[in-house]
């Protein structure tokens, strides 16, 4: 093949070297617009997985890299004048300049044609004259821009400012310096990369950056290679204590905005994107160099395995895209955490450190305990002390007081519509469904959305509380839960609004009924989506009647004995649709600005609160974002939560979406937790209001991690409880917890121990045992240079 590579960074050079090794007959040419010694940045960090792939593909190059690595396992977090050390992480870093020199030498030795200080020909000329064109030309890729109609890039400019610097202070480990200044929070990400230097990345929110006066050079056009020396001098003064008399070094160092790059496609014809041209991930979770070299490995392998070029490029994208998207989700969580770091600096120091370490959700409590058991013990002790407890038990099994209601643990069975009622009456199915979940160990079990009227149902199978017969059937279920378990049971009340009169879920989710349908109402005559019926705009009389229906249902719920009431203001149902500007286009006092859109949901809340027994809590479920243009965002969610808290809500249950069929949710593990996190820290914590996290929380490790980091007070889990009704009890057994927070029903007590599994009597070799033991003791490995540092140019 005749291969053109645009961009002489690590990804492009490594791909060139791999292809020449796979077949020396390949004609490989690299164009790089910078000189061979021009390298921007200081150190690059690699994971064990990446290094393993490099070693497998090119042992000679991997060996050369290994001689230059700085290795360590510790992370030091400096906050409020204290240093907290966490071990067991495992890092390997080297100078970016050294890495490039090694790759350049490797390419020359293999016969790759390298053109430095030479712009590449344009995209069309390259594609016409080569079998394959690699666009490895970075974030601002010219080739990607030339084919933007095909690649369809999305560039997300973020809110923090950052600057890459170096220092001759050789750190012993990864460093996070969190400094509270008169202008706000600033942070440094630092790590060693050689015997003579460390990377020193300064980062802060744009608001802090402006208050500190760093915007003085905002409109200065620096020449190529020049640095913002004024800013570098100020940074050296601000972080003088951290630098401890050592120098800062600049290298094309100026303030940057991190841009997350995503592309709908990565290849077009014989042109393919690689590295930052295809994708970026925030530096706080790793290295763009690492991702680019992993791309090179995968692309070279796919070209070698598939003789057809299009099949090879499709295989490359299929292999790498899931990995990259997973990395980008973690990076997004991490960068947003650092954008909002000021929200967390007032946490107790150990909790702050745990929060920082678990910010991307890739490191969890269990993972951290495996890496550094001593630090995990510190986290447990700190959390228990903050809850006024003496002993240490898993966070999920610590009791919680929700208003005046005592919950034995912090697990909630989330409301899940079952569509199995007859004329709104819950039957034996609901008794078994909710009764089994209560006996399965959860602290609180929630009903499905119970409708306040026949016209307020989602489907003909929805349950209700508009008749006394329905109340009496619910009372039977509540009584069973109270008699057979120590769980509490909550009632979720709602009205379907414009999402009503639809088929049962398994007959067609959100599809309208053909026979037996009923009129639906909404804030405005706007359908839920294409194919949905148009609701009638609710009149003043409608609003009064619906409010009265909520009050009557609440009174029946209290008579049935429910311990708690949740008002459903989420998922596009009636109260939610009043809150959303997508559904609410009214021009009266119930439409327009958020203050007006809140008016009817708050009127209903006040009426329900007045009808509900004062000693029993009332909570509210909201959709924190509509996941759609022109809809509510997380910023609106903060104000919505603030309003309900001001009206007396005991907790905010933070869900999202389902307000329009046109939504584009960013699904992923615990993907809604950041919304709960923000509401808890910005609104709820100051008032003592509980916050409930919900959404793809699938493991007890996730629950413990969320609680220990202070992202929520309680966790609501739905589908996992359908998979395993005894999930909470099984989580206790997995964690070797026994106590009142996970009490097994007496008839089930024989199953309270985890069943035995298959075993082996094989004896492991003694030397292997010794080596494992030695390795396990090396939780804390710090970088200690073995030679005198070389002079810094």
pLDDT in tens, 292-316: 999 999 999 999 999 999 999 999 9
- pLDDT for res 762: 59
Q: Note the pLDDT tens digit of each residue in 634-666.
A: 999 999 999 999 999 999 999 999 999 999 998
- pLDDT for res 753: 83
Query: Half-sphere exposure of 273 toward its Cβ, with a 13 Å CA cutoff?
Result: 34
Q: Does residue 768 sit in helix, strand or coil?
A: helix
Mean per-residue pLDDT for 577-595? 97
**Structure tokens that stand for 143 in this block:** 């080739």
- pLDDT for res 498: 96
* CA-based R_g, the chain, Å: 29
d(CA 484, CA 477): 11
Long-range Cβ pairs for the range 538-547 (8 Å, 24+): 543/590, 543/600, 543/603, 546/452, 546/453, 546/456, 546/495, 546/521, 546/574, 546/604, 547/603, 547/604, 547/607
DSSP type of residue 647: T
- pLDDT for res 765: 59
Q: Is the pLDDT of residue 771 over 80?
A: no
The percentage of the chain sitting over the pLDDT mark of 70, rounded to a whole number, equals: 96
Mean per-residue pLDDT for 176-188? 97
Q: Is the pLDDT of residue 238 over 50?
A: yes
**245-271 b/e with 16+ CB inside 10 Å = b?**
ebebbbbbbbbeebebbebebbbbebb
Ranges of beta strands (E only) in 117-152 are 132-135
Write the DSSP assignment of 93-109 as a string of letters: EEEHHHHHHHHHHHHHH
Residue 793: pLDDT band (50, 70, 90) is very low
DSSP type of residue 509: T
Residue 698: pLDDT band (50, 70, 90) is confident
Candidates 162, 573, 590, 700; catalytic one: 573
- pLDDT for res 53: 83
Compare 764 and 703 and report the one with higher pLDDT.
703
**25-57 b/e with 16+ CB inside 10 Å = b?**
ebebbbbbbbeeebbebbbbbbeeebbebbeeb
- pLDDT for res 232: 97
- pLDDT for res 760: 59
Question: Is 162 one of the annotated active-site residues of the chain?
Answer: no
Q: Note the pLDDT tens digit of each residue in 347-381.
A: 999 999 999 999 998 899 999 999 999 999 999 99
Q: Is the pLDDT of residue 776 over 60?
A: no
Residue 608: pLDDT band (50, 70, 90) is very high
Closest CA to 391 of 757, 739, 711, 639: 739
**656-679 b/e with 16+ CB inside 10 Å = b?**
bbbbbeebeeeebbbbbbbbbbbb
Provide the residue count of the chain.
Answer: 793
Q: Note the pLDDT tens digit of each residue in 512-568.
A: 998 878 999 999 999 999 989 999 999 999 999 999 999 999 999 999 999 999 999
Q: Is the pLDDT of residue 682 over 60?
A: yes
pTM of the shown model: 0.91
Q: Is the pLDDT of residue 248 over 90?
A: yes
d(CA 87, CA 780): 5
- pLDDT for res 272: 98
The percentage of the chain sitting over the pLDDT mark of 90, rounded to a whole number, equals: 85
Q: Is the pLDDT of residue 54 over 90?
A: no
Q: Note the pLDDT tens digit of each residue in 392-439.
A: 899 999 999 999 999 999 999 999 999 999 999 999 999 999 999 999
Residue 788: pLDDT band (50, 70, 90) is low
Question: 45-49, 419-423, 718-722: which has the minimum mean pLDDT?
Answer: 45-49
Q: What is the mean pLDDT of the chain?
A: 93
């Amino acid at each position: 093949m005749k291969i053109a590579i645009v961009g002489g960074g690590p990804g492009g050079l490594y791909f060139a070297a791999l292809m020449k090794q796979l077949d020396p007959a390949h004609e490989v040419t690299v164009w790089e617009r910078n000189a061979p010694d021009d390298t921007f940045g200081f150190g690059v960090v690699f994971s064990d997985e990446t290094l393993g792939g490099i070693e497998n593909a090119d042992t000679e190059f991997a060996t050369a890299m290994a001689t230059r690595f700085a290795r360590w396992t510790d992370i030091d977090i400096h906050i409020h004048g204290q240093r907290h050390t966490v071990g067991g992480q495992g890092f390997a870093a080297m100078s970016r300049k050294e890495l490039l020199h090694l790759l350049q030498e490797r390419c020359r030795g293999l016969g790759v044609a390298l053109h430095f200080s030479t712009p590449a020909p344009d995209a069309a000329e390259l594609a016409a004259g080569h079998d394959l064109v690699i666009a490895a030309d970075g974030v601002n890729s010219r080739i990607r821009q030339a084919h933007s109609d095909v690649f369809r890039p999305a560039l997300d400019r973020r809110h923090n400012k950052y600057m890459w610097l170096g220092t001759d202070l050789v750190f012993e480990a990864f460093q996070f310096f969190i400094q509270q200044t008169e202008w706000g929070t600033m942070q440094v990400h630092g790590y060693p990369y050689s015997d003579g230097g460390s990377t020193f990345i300064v980062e802060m929110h744009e608001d802090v950056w402006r208050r500190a006066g760093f915007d003085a050079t905002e409109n200065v056009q620096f020449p190529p290679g020049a640095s913002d020396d004024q800013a570098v001098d100020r940074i050296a003064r601000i972080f003088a204590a951290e630098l401890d008399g050592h120098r800062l070094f600049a290298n094309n160092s100026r303030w940057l905005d991190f841009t997350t790059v995503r592309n709908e496609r990565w290849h077009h014809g014989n042109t393919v994107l690689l590295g930052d041209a295809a994708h970026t991930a925030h530096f706080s979770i790793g290295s763009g160099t690492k991702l680019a070299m992993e791309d090179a490995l995968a692309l070279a392998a796919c070209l070698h395995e598939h003789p057809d070029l299009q099949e090879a490029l499709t295989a490359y994208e299929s292999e790498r895209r899931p990995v990259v998207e997973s990395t980008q989700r973690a990076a997004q969580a991490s960068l947003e955490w650092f954008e909002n770091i000021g929200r967390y600096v007032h946490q107790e120091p150990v909790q702050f450190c745990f929060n920082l370490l678990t910010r991307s959700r890739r490191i969890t409590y269990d993972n951290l305990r495996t890496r550094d058991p001593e630090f995990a013990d510190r986290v447990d002790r700190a959390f228990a002390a903050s809850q006024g407890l003496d002993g240490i038990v898993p966070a999920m099994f610590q009791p919680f007081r929700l208003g005046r209601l005592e919950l034995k643990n912090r697990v909630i069975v989330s409301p899940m519509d079952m569509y199995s009622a007859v004329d709104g009456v819950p039957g034996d199915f609901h008794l078994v469904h909710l009764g089994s979940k209560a006996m399965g160990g959860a602290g609180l079990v929630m009903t499905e959305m119970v409708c306040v009227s026949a016209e307020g149902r989602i489907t003909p199978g929805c349950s209700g509380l508009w008749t006394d017969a329905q109340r009496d059937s619910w009372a039977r279920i509540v009584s069973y839960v109270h008699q057979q378990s120590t769980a509490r049971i909550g009632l979720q009340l709602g009205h379907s609004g414009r999402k009503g009169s639809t088929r049962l879920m398994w007959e067609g989710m959100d599809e309208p009924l053909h026979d037996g349908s009923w009129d639906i109402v909404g804030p405005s005559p706007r359908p839920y989506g294409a194919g949905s019926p148009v609701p009638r705009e609710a009149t003043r009389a409608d609003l009064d009647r619906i409010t009265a229906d909520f009050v009557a249902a609440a009174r029946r719920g209290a008579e049935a004995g429910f311990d708690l009431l949740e008002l459903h203001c989420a998922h596009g149902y009636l109260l939610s649709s009043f809150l959303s500007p997508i559904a609410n286009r009214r021009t009266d006092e119930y439409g327009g600005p958020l203050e007006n859109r809140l008016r009817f949901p708050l009127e209903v809340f006040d009426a329900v609160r007045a009808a509900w027994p004062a000693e029993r809590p009332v909570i509210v479920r909201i959709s924190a974002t509509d996941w759609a243009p022109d809809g509510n965002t997380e910023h609106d969610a903060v104000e919505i939560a603030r309003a309900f808290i001001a009206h007396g809500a005991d907790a905010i249950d933070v869900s999202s979406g389902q307000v329009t069929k046109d939504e584009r949710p960013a699904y992923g593990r615990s993907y809604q937790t950041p919304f709960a996190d923000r509401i808890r820290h910005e609104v709820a914590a100051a008032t003592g209001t509980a916050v409930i996290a919900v959404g793809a929380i699938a493991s007890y490790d996730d629950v413990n991690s969320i609680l220990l980091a202070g992202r929520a007070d309680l966790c609501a889990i739905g589908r996992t409880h359908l998979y395993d009704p005894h999930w909470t009890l099984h989580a206790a057994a997995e964690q070797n917890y026994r106590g009142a927070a996970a009490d097994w029903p007496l008839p089930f007590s024989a199953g309270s121990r985890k069943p035995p599994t298959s075993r082996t009597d094989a004896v492991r070799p003694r030397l292997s045992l010794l080596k494992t033991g030695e390795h396990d003791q090396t939780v804390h490995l710090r970088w200690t240079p073995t030679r005198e540092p070389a002079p810094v140019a």
